[in-house]
Structure 1
Amino acid sequence: MCLEEFLHNLHFDIEKASIPDWEVDWEDKPLPYKLYRGLPVVPFSLEVPLTLEGQKQPATPDLSKMGHFLWYVYGLTQFSQSVFSLDATDHSEVMQSYRRFAPSGGALYPNELYVYLKIKDLPIGVYHYDVAHHRLVLLREGNFDSYIAKALGNRCDVSSCFGTVFVSAMFWKNFFKYNNFSYRLQGLDAGVLIGQLLEVAKRFGYESGVYFQFLDRAVNHLLGLAEREESVYAVIPLSVEPTIWSANGNEKARMVAAAELCRELTSIEPSHYVRSQRVKEYPMLTELNEMSMLEDTISFTMIGEEEIGNGGGQTVALPHAERLSYDLASVCRQRFSPDMDFIMGKISQLDLANLLYEATDSFLYRNDLESAYQKHEPRVSVNICLYNVEGIPNGAYQYDSTTHALHQVLLGDHRLLLQSGMSLYNVNLLQVPICIHVTGVKDYYKNTFGYRGYRIQQMEAGMLVQRLLLLAAASGMGGHPLLGYDSNLCDEIYKLGPQGKTSLIQIPFGPYRPRPWLMGGLYG
């Protein structure tokens, strides 16, 4: 199967992309976090603030504040146990998982965080965030400003940043369960994590932005990653003051090659533990990762200027949106993914307007995919099926973020049709007033970014998903991201085919009943 066909099937016909007769070996599952062995560690304080309001004016963080930052981004926040009945004899099995504020498919968390830090009370160097123990593990000590700047194509003044975050995907961590479908999940999960990181950075007063294009092998070499096992997907510099940010580079004429840059540093192969004894091969993921790599900085590119369009149809103007003021820490604790817990309730136009406006407006962020001075159609956008929303006819709509309005696509109650398109009946869509589909171009900008465009698109979709989930929680609603749905059916509802677009993920939103369960957080 060629890679283009594989990615097509991954989205539109998952059975063809999946490995036949796949059986999950639960006894040999990997850990949901990476554990390094025999390296220096720096523990963080286990005392974390339970609110992010009233933060002091931005200042270069010390070790304690960096610990708070990383915990809110990706730390362990909840221990969960689920009991499943296996047979009629009431023989049951307990499945346990560790949760974080950023959701993940199957709670498997295939992504890892690495940080290059220049802060007080810490040797300058490259570290891994050890989630299990809430500490840093030192991988390389030293100043790597010049190396990282070159790996980014000299498009960022790394010397003015106190830190740089690297988000990786560790392939086996969810491949063991989802086989080839894990490739789609790894990009989405990375995006959700990045979305959480950007929101937390705002609360701490840090300047940030996302680089999707960098010299992969040079960055992986810096971190000591085995590329057939794990690879970096995004690089995010952090600073307390606005820093030089360029999408196309101030020294683009000075081409940097990954192979040449790697020779500046000796190789490291730090030992780590994954628990699995029988790690299987994942050739499609390995080949896609290989084909997505950038070997020199001349390969960095941007999307050209595009006109913003809409799907036509009658327009429904939404009321002026009010900026939501909320404590992110509290909202993170409240966020809940209902399944059979949704209950039908009437949604006001203002609630809908606030959700859509705030999510898409806050999603604007610095990146290396476009020029900041050009108008672009959003690379990922929102289509929505509504039922029982105050003053808006039931139907399918396209949300236009530039005019803050809904463009009518197809009137009617689509809940039963959407329910029929689900592969699992774990959510009762008949009880859901809002069903959002994050959409993007069907060819994932392949002509511009090659196969790398697919994972970039999935990450941007995940970033928008996290914004929507946080705002829904702030409004008292729940949201449940779903990939087990019929993309072709949804594309027909919204008439996306002629636009060259497709739905990337489905998220029902609405009121929900409290679940009768015993739960506790790993905080306060």
Structure 2
Amino acid sequence: MDLDLFLHQLHFQNDLVTPPNWEVDWDDAPLPYKVYRHLPEYQLPYDIPLAIQDQSFHPTPDLNNIGYFLWYVYGLTQFNQTAFPSSTKEESAETMQGFRRYPPSGGGLYPSELYVYLKLEDLPHGIYHYDVAHHRLLLLRKGHFDSYLTSALGNSSTLSNCFGAVIITTMFWKNFFKYHNFSYRLQGLDAGALLGQLLEVSKRCGFHPKIHFQFLDQAVNHLLGIDGKEESTYAVIPLSGEKIAFDEILSKSTATHLSNTIPKIQTTHEQRSQTVLPFPEITQLHQETLLEAIELVRQLEAREEKIECKVHIALPAVRKKLSENFAHACQNRYSPEMDFRAQRMDQIQLASLLKESMDSYGYTNDLDKEENQKQRVSIYGCFYQIDGIPNGAYRYDAASHSLLLIKEGDFRFSLQAGMSLHNVNLHQVPVCLHIVGERTHHKGELGYRGYRIQHMEAGMLLQRTLLTASALGMNGHPLLGFDTIGCDDIYELEGSQKTTIIQVPIGFHRAKSWLVGGMHG
């Protein structure tokens, strides 16, 4: 298989990566969460705080604090049921129901799973799986794994200085069964949205995370007891009560050598599907992303982005609405679909949306040096009837908190025509944002791993944007079924080797017609 062609089609011609006769077998769908069998259980508290403000918890947490943290990051938060007209002549309606979490997921399928390494006084030290279905921890391995994980990260973060770590994985079949090969694009965005939520919750808890996109994959998978084929690690995030230092990579470990230092564990889990189809293209691409040796870890150099623009529109200073009521923003975030209603947005609201969304780009990671953190994905947008701003296509410049005009005009007709599924009326929204990144997805430095890392960073920015919109009394609907080439043309991106990654219409909306209830203890 030509991997470069596959990624090109995945991004620009995604109808070519899914068979035309592909049918979804909903009767044999997998569970949206992993359920282990026969493991020691540790129940987490159900009395979740209704509000969670900055520095709410002590930086050295106990089991209750970890329970609150995990629930806000990835717990089941709401049950919903939506009625649709029956496809038959009978009067009864058809219903669809599901469980929601605060981070969004394509189709509500949640391919990501969450594991934690914890060293708490009121819990055996070890590796746990967060059992979302029952809000509890299941012990996979008992013991201290500071040295093991530190080596797997190339000694660039020292786990002995942390109270634990979060490990995010992807289970490929959980959304391949619906989206076929297109699921690979969704999996990176889903993991990124989860990371974005984790960063925001960490701020409220007083935790200091450091996100590692690069690590010895086989070694981390071996630690968790997963095979790397059905499920594999996408990110490792050490957690500390203090800022985690940037260390030079000194380790010479290999994944094979490190895996041999601890025994293999055997586990059983339920996924419900009786038939699991192979996904050879995703398997081959995933194999090309794996790191066997720490010497393959790379940092990214800063790149000057030169933008020629004659019109700069300075935006007003704003308050941070998301910081004022984070829990409320989480609880009210959802994707409105056809519930958007035409209502003008003022310049203060737009400035708040853009600034607070981009302020998330100060997170600690393994791609940057501490003194040289940089923005790899950015926000562009088509705006209509914003007070004091001409209709047109813009780039948001976070450094100067201003808009750079690319083209004047009303682009709603072009954007609507470019949608593959007309489930959102773009004529009802004043703002259609696009998250933009490198067209080459940093392949020169990061290889094929760069594609999923770029989508994870886009997902992180997406989640911050959705939460900020919710805090402002609006909501956004993430879309991947749009004309990427057409959007790149609107923003004149091809010459700068940039491309649009995801489309997010944002605006005011009516209440959704559904039955929804909170799952709050």
Question: TM-score when scaled to structure 2?
Answer: 0.97
Residue in 1 that maps onto 2:277: 280
CA displacement at 1:92 relative to structure 2: 4.5
Q: State the distance in 2 between where 1:446 and 1:92 align.
A: 49
Please state how far the C-alpha of 1:327 moved relative to its aligned partner: 1.9
Q: Distance in 2 between matches of 1:227 and 1:375?
A: 31
Cα distance in 1 for partners of 2:342, 2:396 equals 22
Amino acid across the alignment from 2:182: F
Q: CA deviation at 1:344?
A: 1.5
What does residue 353 of structure 1 align with?
A: 351
Partner of residue 52, structure 1: 52
| Equivalent position of 2:18 in the other structure | 18
Distance 2:53 2:203 in 1: 11
| Contact map agreement 2:216 2:292 (CA 8 A) in 1 | yes
Residues 208 and 366 in structure 1, CA contact (< 8 A), matched pair in contact too: yes
Q: Which amino acid aligns with 2:252?
A: M
Q: 1:139 to 1:153 in 2, by over 3 A?
A: same
- Go from structure 1 to structure 2 and tell me whether the alpha carbon gap of 1:492 and 1:117 turns closer, same or farther (over 3 Å shift): same
Contact kept, 8 Å, 2:80 with 2:515, in 1: the verdict is no
Aligned partners of 2:274, 2:310: CA distance in 1, in Å? 56
CA distance in 1, matches of 2:157, 2:181: 35
Taking a change above 3 Å as real, the CA distance of residues 7 and 327 of structure 1, as seen in their structure-2 partners, is same
**Equivalences for residues 450-461 of structure 1 within 5 A:** 450-461=447-458
Compute the displacement of 1:244 (Å).
2.5
Match of 2:241 in 1: 240
**Mapped contact 1:311–1:398 kept (Cα < 8 A):** no
Contact between 2:393 and 2:490, CA under 8 Å: does it hold in 1? yes
Secondary structure of the equivalent of 2:238? strand
Are 1:230 and 2:231 matched, yes or no? yes
Q: Which range is displaced more, 185-194 or 46-55? A: 46-55
Residue 333 of structure 2: aligned partner: 335
The farther-off stretch of 91-100 and 224-233 is: 91-100
Cα distance in 1 for residues equivalent to 2:461 and 2:291: 26
**Where do 1:292-441 residues align within 5 Å?**
292-324=289-321, 325-374=323-372, 376=374, 378-441=375-438
Output the aligned Cα RMSD: 1.4
Q: Distance in 2 between matches of 1:447 and 1:236?
A: 25
SS in 2 for 1:340: helix
2:264 aligned counterpart, secondary structure: coil
Cα deviation code 1:287-322 (max 9, x no counterpart): 111110000000011111322432524111111233
Counterpart of 1:139 in structure 2 is 140
Give CA deviations for 1:371-402 in whole Å, capped at 9, x if unaligned: 222364x2100110000100000000011111
User: Which position in structure 1 is the counterpart of 2:70?
Assistant: 70
Aligned partner of 1:40 in structure 2 is 40
Deviations along 1:437-474, whole A, 9 cap, x unmatched?
00001110001101000000000000000000000011
User: Structure 1 CA distance, aligned partners of 2:385 and 2:403?
Assistant: 16
Say yes or no: does 1:464 pair with 2:465: no
Alpha-carbon distance between aligned partners in 1 of 2:91 and 2:25, rounded to the nearest angstrom:
23
How many angstroms does 1:337 deviate by? 1.4
Aligned-pair identity in percent equals 52
8 Å CA contact retained: 1:36, 1:273: yes
Unaligned runs of 5+ in 2: none
**Equivalent position of 1:201 in the other structure:** 202
- Greater displacement, 18-27 / 481-490: 18-27
Structure 1 range deviating more: 53-62 or 151-160: 53-62
For the 8 Å contact 1:478–1:511, the answer to whether it is kept is: yes
Structure 1: stretches of 5+ with no match in the other structure: none
The reply to whether residue 104 of structure 1 matches residue 101 of structure 2 is: no
Match of 1:83 in 2: 83
User: Does the residue aligned with 2:77 lie in a helix, a strand or coil?
Assistant: strand
Question: CA separation of 1:311/1:80 partners in 2, compared to 1, >3 Å: closer, same or farther?
Answer: farther
- Contact 2:209–2:244 (CA<8 Å) still a contact in 1? no
CA distance in 2, matches of 1:56, 1:79: 27
Which string of whole-angstrom CA distances, capped at 9 and with x for unpartnered residues, describes residues 98-142 of structure 1?
110111111000000000000121000000000000000100000
- In 1, are the aligned partners of 2:28 and 2:273 still within 8 Å (CA)? yes
Work out whether 1:476 is the aligned partner of 2:473.
yes
1:480 and 1:311 map into 2 onto residues whose CA distance is 31
- Mean CA deviation greater in 464-473 or 303-312: 303-312
Instruction: Tell me, in whole angstroms, the C-alpha distance in 2 between the residues paired with 1:513 and 1:287.
Output: 44
Quote the residue 1:508 is aligned against. 505
3-state DSSP of counterpart to 2:371:
coil
Separation in structure 2 between the aligned mates of residue 504 and residue 311 of structure 1, nearest angstrom: 22
Q: Give the TM-score of the pair, scaled to structure 1.
A: 0.97
- Hey, what's the Cα distance between the residues in 2 that align with 1:326 and 1:56? 13
Distance 1:399 1:59 in 2: 35
1:97 Cα deviation (Å)? 1.1
CA distance in 1, matches of 2:315, 2:245: 37
Listed as ranges, the matches of 1:255-294 within 5 Å are 255-294=252-291
Question: 1:517 & 1:92 partners in 2: Cα distance?
Answer: 13
| Shift of residue 83, structure 1, vs aligned partner | 2.9
Say which SS state the counterpart of residue 276 (structure 2) adopts. Answer: coil
Matched AA of 1:17: V
Alpha-carbon distance in 2 for matches of 1:59, 1:199: 15
**Taking structure 1 as reference, are residues 56 and 78 closer, same or farther at Cα in structure 2, changes over 3 Å only?**
closer
Residue number in structure 2 paired with 1:446:
443
Relative to 1, partners in 2 of residues 1:414 and 1:374: Cα closer, same or farther, differing over 3 Å?
same
Secondary structure (helix, strand or coil) at the match of 1:382 reads strand
The amino acid across from 2:434 in the alignment is H
CA contact (8 A) 1:310 1:400 kept: no
State the alpha-carbon separation in 1 of the partners of residues 508 and 56 from structure 2: 35
Report which stretch shifted further, 355-364 or 28-37: 355-364
Give, in whole Å, the separation in 2 of the partners of 1:501 and 1:3.
Answer: 20
Structure-2 separation of matches of 1:290 and 1:13: 23
Q: Which whole-Å deviations, capped at 9, do the CAs of 1:392-428 have from their partners, x for residues lacking one?
A: 0000001111111111111011111110000111000
- Cα distance in 1, alignment partners of residues 434 and 399 from structure 2: 18
User: How far did 1:20 drift?
Assistant: 3.6
Q: CA deviation at 1:348?
A: 1.3
Counterpart AA for 1:67: G
Asked if the contact 1:337/1:480 (under 8 Å) is kept, the reply is: yes
Structure 1 residue 178: Cα displacement: 0.4
State the 4+ residue runs in structure 1 displaced beyond 6 angstroms.
none
**How many Å separate the matches in 2 of 1:257 and 1:19?**
38
Describe the shift of the 1:57–1:174 C-alpha distance in structure 2 as closer, same or farther (beyond 3 A).
Answer: closer
In 2, are the aligned partners of 1:357 and 1:404 still within 8 Å (CA)? yes
8 Å Cα contact 2:82/2:515 also seen in 1: no
Other structure's SS at 1:319 match: coil
Inter-partner Cα distance in structure 1 for 2:9 and 2:339: 31
